[in-house]
């Protein structure tokens, strides 16, 4: 069964550095999402992406964040200047279409900002 994949599984970075988290959504899916989960807290929506543009974003997704689909398979989340509070598990998800709603999650990237 196809799955969403994410790399790396764990990223450690210094505060102020840029990080890029990578995701490969399921191949026939058209909608892509990033969520984050701070340790012990709920999963929070960051952004959704469709047709090469952002369709929704949350208040968390400020100017420090950006997303890109650089080619036909990858979907990336960039954090320009990481802060300590960006430390979290970041999940990518994808769905076939908007109406069907089911989102399939990747295994996550644990980001640790020192």
Q: Going along 1-114, which residue ranges are E strands?
A: 5-7, 10-13, 19-24, 31-37, 43-50, 53-57, 65-68, 75-79, 88-95, 104-105, 109-113
- Contact call for residue 43 and another protein (CB under 8 A): yes
Shortest Å, Cβ 16 to another protein: 29
User: Residue 20: is it exposed, middle or buried by C-beta count within 10 angstroms (0-12/13-18/19+)?
Assistant: middle
Q: Which of residues 35, 65, 75, 90 is near another protein by CB under 8 A?
A: 35
Q: Is 76 a residue that touches another protein (CB under 8 A)?
A: no
Smaller CB separation from another protein, 58 or 64: 58
Q: What is the DSSP letter of 97?
A: -
Number of residues interacting with another protein: please give it, by CB under 8 A.
25
- Positions that interact with another protein (CB under 8 A): 4, 31, 33, 35, 41-45, 48, 55-56, 58, 91, 95, 98-99, 101-108
């Amino acid at each position: 069964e196809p799955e969403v994949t994410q790399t790396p599984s764990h990223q450690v970075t210094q505060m102020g550095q840029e990080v890029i988290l990578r995701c490969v959504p399921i191949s026939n899916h058209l909608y892509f999402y990033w969520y984050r989960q701070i340790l012990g807290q709920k999963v929070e929506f960051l952004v959704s992406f469709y047709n090469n543009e952002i369709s929704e974003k949350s208040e968390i997704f400020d100017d420090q964040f950006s997303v890109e689909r650089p080619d036909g398979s990858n979907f990336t989340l960039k954090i320009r200047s990481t802060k300590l509070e960006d430390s979290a598990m970041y999940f990518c998800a994808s769905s076939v279409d908007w109406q069907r709603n089911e989102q399939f999650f990747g295994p996550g990237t644990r980001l640790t900002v020192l």
